Structure 1
Amino acid sequence: MKDQRAPQNRPEAARALAVAAELRVVVGRLVRRLREQASAGDLTSSQKSVLLHLEREGTATVTVLARAQDMRPQSMGAIVSTLEVAGLVDGAPDPADGRQTLLSLTAACRDMIVAGRAARQDWLFRAIQTNLDGEEQEQLAGAVELLKRLAAS
């Protein structure tokens, strides 16, 4: 017969709920610590999103970026202008449609992204090496596999 109690009243569900709450807090704290390790300067979250989109997807127009960020092209144009002035984004005429401008990351921006990732990776490596013994590092490796499964679900 099926257990009719509310999910939070079943011991295994109550445990999963508690783990979910604790995991959310711990992951948030870890993300904040990682962000502290390699600041992207004074960039806003929208600016960072644009840079990551361009890195991941390649060149794009303001319209494509606006659609990806779910905002008006005029608002995206202001973000892109700021990034251009900062030397992080360059524009070039679209060879297929000269009326459009294709935006891409500058070499300086790519270097900044690589350096930021390296700093975060180094901090995490040192934290693991310093704070966890060999057995704990193995447990963490197993937990990473479980987190991958959660992230993929």
Structure 2
Amino acid sequence: MSGKPVPTAAAVASDLRVAVSRLLRQLRAQTEGSDLTKSQSSVLIRLEQGGPATATQLAHAAGMRPQSMAKIVRALEEAGLIAGTPDPADGRKTVLDLTDAARDEFRTGRRAKEDWLTRVIEAEFTDAEIRQLADAVELLDRIGRAG
């Protein structure tokens, strides 16, 4: 035993929030230069994770008015990142999905972030710390799934 007192959950939560915020800033910096707004990025992420959806479904998921979502969808279509096809169940509706260009952007962004993380881990951590980090990833994933 190390003899160090067990920190309170509140203290760990505070430190974790700060550390995660710092890490997210660093990860975002790896893909700077994107012209997308936060709302546009959120729509792309929603389509990637949830699959094709109508603009109304996207608006509902984002908690915004359909008119606001229509502007975001239009901009993403003009950028060639999403495309619409008629809904097979209701031809009056359009189902939106990512284009191959958007999928390529996601792959490129993920690769840049993972490459940066790999370089930092290899440069800054011992083998024992890498094992600790791997264990911590499991714990962080549990927090993320606790919803």
Q: CA deviation at 1:40?
A: 6.6
The equivalent of 1:94 in structure 2 is 87
Q: What one-letter code is carried by the residue in structure 1 that aligns with 2:81?
A: L
Consecutive aligned runs of 4 or more in structure 1 exceeding 3 Å deviation: none
- Farther-moved stretch of structure 1 (77-86 vs 94-103): 94-103
Which residue number in structure 1 is paired with residue 72 of structure 2? 79
- One-letter amino acid of the counterpart of residue 123, structure 2: T
Larger gyration radius, structure 1 or structure 2: 1
Tell me which residue corresponds to 1:113: 106
Partners of 2:138 and 2:47 lie apart in 1 by 29
Structure 1, residues 50-83: CA drift from partner, whole Å, max 9, x if none? 1011111211111111111111111100000010
Label 1:151 to 1:24 Cα distance change in 2 as closer, same or farther (>3 A): same
Alpha-carbon contact 1:40-1:116 (below 8 Å) kept: no
Shift of 1:143: 1.5
* Structure 2 equivalent of residue 32 of structure 1: 25
Which secondary structure does the structure 2 equivalent of 1:98 belong to?
coil
Aligned to 2:144: 151
Deviation (angstroms), 1:43: 1.0
* Among candidates 28, 44, 61, match of residue 54 of structure 2: 61
Report the RMSD for the aligned CA atoms in angstroms: 1.5
Question: Secondary structure at 1:56's aligned position in 2?
Answer: helix
- Determine which of 116, 120, 123 is the counterpart of 1:127: 120
Displacement of 1:125 in angstroms is 0.9
SS of the counterpart of 1:21? helix
Is the 1:39–1:116 Cα contact (8 Å) retained in structure 2? no
- In the alignment, which residue of structure 2 is the partner of 1:4? none
When residues 104 and 40 of structure 1 are mapped into structure 2, their CA distance, relative to the original with a 3 A threshold, is: farther
What is the aligned residue count?
142
- Work out whether residues 90 and 105 of structure 1, in 8 Å CA contact, stay in contact via their aligned partners in 2: yes
